[in-house]
């Protein structure tokens, strides 16, 4: 019973993410990349 519930719950979660536009995940990736690039620049400034 519980395993069935977990399986359907996972499918619902997956459905939510599938419906999201791909730009949203790209936006997060770009944000992370920009964050690391700025951090690298800060580190370079220190040395």
What are the pLDDT tens digits along the chain (47 aa)? 567 776 676 666 666 656 656 666 677 777 787 888 777 777 666 55
Q: What confidence score (pLDDT) does residue 19 get?
A: 63
Q: What confidence score (pLDDT) does residue 37 get?
A: 77
Q: What confidence score (pLDDT) does residue 3 get?
A: 72
Give the integer Cα–Cα distance in Å for 33 and 47: 21
The gap from C-alpha 14 to its chain's centroid, in whole angstroms, comes to: 13
Give the integer Cα–Cα distance in Å for 41 and 47: 10
Q: What confidence score (pLDDT) does residue 47 get?
A: 54
Q: What confidence score (pLDDT) does residue 25 get?
A: 66
Nearest to 33 by CA among 18, 41, 47, 21: 41
The whole-model pTM stands at 0.35
Per DSSP, the residues of 6-25 read HHHHHHHHHHHHHHS-HHHH
Give the integer Cα–Cα distance in Å for 39 and 31: 12
């Amino acid at each position: 019973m519980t395993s069935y519930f977990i399986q359907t719950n996972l499918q619902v979660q997956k459905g939510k993410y599938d419906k999201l536009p791909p730009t949203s995940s790209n936006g997060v990736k770009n944000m992370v990349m920009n964050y690391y690039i700025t951090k690298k620049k800060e580190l370079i400034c220190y040395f």
